[in-house]
Structure 1
Amino acid sequence: MPMTAAQRETLEDVTAFLVRESRLADEHAYDDWEALWADDGVYWVPANGDDIDPEQKMSILYDNRSRIALRIRQYHTGKRFSQTPQSRLRRLVSNIEVLADDGREIRVAANVLVFESHTRGDQLWASRNEYLLRRQADGSLRMALKKVMLVNNANALYSMAFLI
C-alpha cells in the first residue's frame, strides 16, 4: 500500500531525527544529544534477551531522564577514564520503520550498526532499536524511549563506555 503524503513526511522527520541523534552521539556532543530527550525519557539496553522486565532482571543500561543527565555531568568531569581517549564512533542507521503514529507519539524501529575504534581494539555492535518519539508543540521530536536490543546481548560484552 503506498504511503500518504503525511506518512511520507512523518518518515522523513523520523529519519532526520535518528540520523541527527546518531551523529551527535558519534561526535560525543552529549549536551546536544541530551536535549533530544523528553523529560520522562527512558534509555534501555536489555541484557539476556529483548523482552525482559527491566524492573526484575538485569539490564546493561536502564536509565530514566535524571540518570541520563547525571551520566553526562559525570562525563564532563573528565574522570570517566574508560573513554580516555574517546572511542571513535560511527553509526549506520537503516530499515527505519514507523510502527504507529497517533499524531503526538510515534513508535519507530530501526537497525543500527555501531563501529567503535578504541585503543583496546575495534568493535562492531549490531542492534534493533525501538523508539518512542513525541512531537512537541513546535513540531520537533523528543525521545521518550530508546530501547537498544543488541544482537549479542546474551553474551559477555566488552566495555560499552561510549554509551555514556
Structure 2
Amino acid sequence: MAALLDSKAVESFLIHEARLLDDRKFEDWMALFDDEGFYWAPSVVGQQSPLTEVSIFFDNRELMAQRITRLRHERVHSQIPHSRTMHMVSNVVASDIPGDAGEISVTSKFLVLEYRPSVPEGVQRMFGGEYQHILKETDGSFRILGKKAMLINCDSAFGPLAVYF
C-alpha cells in the first residue's frame, strides 16, 4: 500500500509540474528544480550526454531563468499572443535509486499540444515522447534533480521552440 501511495504522490507531482507549464507559471515551475537541477531534451535517439552532442535543450536554472525572461519580454513577436499548451503525462513508473537515499527515478510518457495563434491562421503542433525524472523527496514533496525529455522525433527539424515540452 505504501508503494501505491508513493506512486500516486509522484504522479500527482508530475501532473502539477505539467499544469504549471500550461498555466505559464514558469517561475513556479523552475522553483520545482533543485539548485543544481537541469532540463535536457536530446537531439539524437539514444544520446548519452548533453556535453558531447548538441541538444534541443540543456538548461540549468540560470538558462531556465534567461529563457523565461525572454518568453515574458513584451517584444517576443513569436509569442504575441503567447502559445497555449496542454501537457498530458501518463504511464508513470517510479523506482528508488539504490544507494541514493530519497532519490527516485521516474519514467513517464508525455504528449504536449501547442497552439500558436501568433502565426497566420494559427498552427497546432504536437510533441510526444518519454520523460525521465530524477526526483528527491524533500519536506513531503519532491525536487527535480534532472528531467530528460526524449522526443520520439528528436532528430527531426523543428521550427522555433518557445515552449518547454
Q: Deviations over 1:37-62 (max 9, x none)?
A: 11110100000223232111100000
1:25-64 equivalent positions in 2, closer than 5 A: 25-64=21-60
1:13-162 equivalent positions in 2, closer than 5 A: 13-101=9-97, 103-119=101-117, 120=119, 121-136=123-138, 138-162=139-163
Following TM superposition, the consecutive aligned residue runs of length 4 or more in structure 1 with deviations greater than 3 angstroms are: none
CA RMSD, aligned part only? 1.7
TM-score scaled to structure 2, two decimals? 0.89
Residue 5 of structure 2 is aligned to residue 9 of structure 1 = yes
CA-CA distance at 1:151 after TM superposition: 0.4
CA-CA distance at 1:7 after TM superposition: 1.2
CA-CA distance at 1:159 after TM superposition: 2.1
CA-CA distance at 1:82 after TM superposition: 2.4
CA-CA distance at 1:68 after TM superposition: 1.3
Unaligned runs of 5+ in 1: none
Q: Deviations over 1:94-113 (max 9, x none)?
A: 10001334551110000000
CA-CA distance at 1:126 after TM superposition: 0.5
Contact 2:96 2:102 in 1 (8 A): no
TM-score scaled to structure 1, two decimals? 0.89
Letter in 1 for 2:140: G
Identity %: 33
Contact 2:71 2:162 in 1 (8 A): no
CA distance in 2, matches of 1:114, 1:7: 28
Provide the secondary structure at the position in 2 that maps to 1:74: helix
Q: Deviations over 1:9-33 (max 9, x none)?
A: 2111111100000011011111211
CA-CA distance at 1:80 after TM superposition: 2.9
CA distance in 2, matches of 1:14, 1:139: 11
